[in-house]
Each structure stands twice: as C-alpha cells, then as structure tokens.
Amino acid sequence: MSRTDTISDAFTVIRNASRAKQEETYIPYSNSLVKICDILKREGYLENFKEVDLEGFRKIKVYLKYQNKKGIIGQIKKISKPGRRIYVKRDAVPRALNGYGVTIVSTPEGMFTDKEAREKGLGGEVIGMVW
C-alpha cells in the first residue's frame, strides 16, 4: 500500500489507539514524524516514543498517555493536506482550541508549536492541531 500522507496516517493511528485505550502503538517512520512526536511529548500529550526496527521496517513506537483512564489526546487533526496546503504568516499563526491545545507549524527553521513560532516570529505550514 503506498502512502501519500504519512502524517495524516500517523494521526489516525494515534487517534484510534487513544480511543481504544491502547498503551502503545506503531506509526511509520519519517524524520517529520519524529519531530512531531517530540513536540507532542514535550507538550504532555505522549508518555514517550522510540524508534524501533520491526520486521525489517523502521517504525516509531508511541506510548500514549492517560489520566484517570481517559486519553490525554482528545482530538488530533491534520490541517494542511496534500491537495490543499495551509500557510500562515508569523502574525496569523492559529491557536488550537483558543490556546488550550497545540498547533504544530513547520517553519523554515524546523517544526515548532504555535507558541514557539510566535515567540520566534516565524510563519509556515500549519501541519495539525492537538487538544
């Protein structure tokens, strides 16, 4: 099966695993997904993640985080899609759930949260939102 949007696939796997109350799940490996997982871990949405070799393929093993048997990730949503990219300037970086969530922005200097992008004065492609 060919994948055209690995980030969207990974978001779907994480969303489904969180709703099924799984402790861990595997997503396809890519450098951008490692950076996204790092952001989600820093922001407290993931317990941990690590790169593994599974049956000859590199994968990312994601350990989901729960609080009182309820998933920390309520919603994880891809904003920019292959057919329609969403770019924003530095003064128009959107807030997820009015600041209660996190927006992931890919800038020329790397991937950042919406708060970090605003502090650095960077705009870029809006990858997704988590709350």
Last residue of a domain, one of 25, 50, 71: 71
Contact (CB, 8 A) for 37 and 127: no
CATH number at residue 94: 3.30.1490.10
76-103 residue pLDDT tens: 999 999 999 999 999 999 999 999 999 9
Question: Are 50 and 66 part of one and the same domain?
Answer: yes
Question: Are 81 and 66 part of one and the same domain?
Answer: no
Residue 1 falls within a domain, yes or no?
A: no
pTM as predicted: 0.92
Question: Are 53 and 101 part of one and the same domain?
Answer: no
* CB neighbour list of residue 24: distance below 8 Å, 6 or more residues apart: 17, 61, 62, 63, 64
| Count of structural domains within the chain | 2
Residue 104 falls within a domain, yes or no?
A: yes
Task: Say if residue 53 is exposed, middle or buried (CB neighbours under 10 Å; 0-12, 13-18, 19+).
Answer: exposed
Last residue of a domain, one of 30, 53, 71: 71
Question: Are 108 and 121 part of one and the same domain?
Answer: yes
* CB neighbour list of residue 5: distance below 8 Å, 6 or more residues apart: 78, 81, 82
d(CA 53, CA 89): 38
CATH number at residue 66: 3.30.1370.30
Residue 103 tokens, joined: 């927006």
43-75 residue pLDDT tens: 999 999 999 998 899 999 999 999 998 999 999
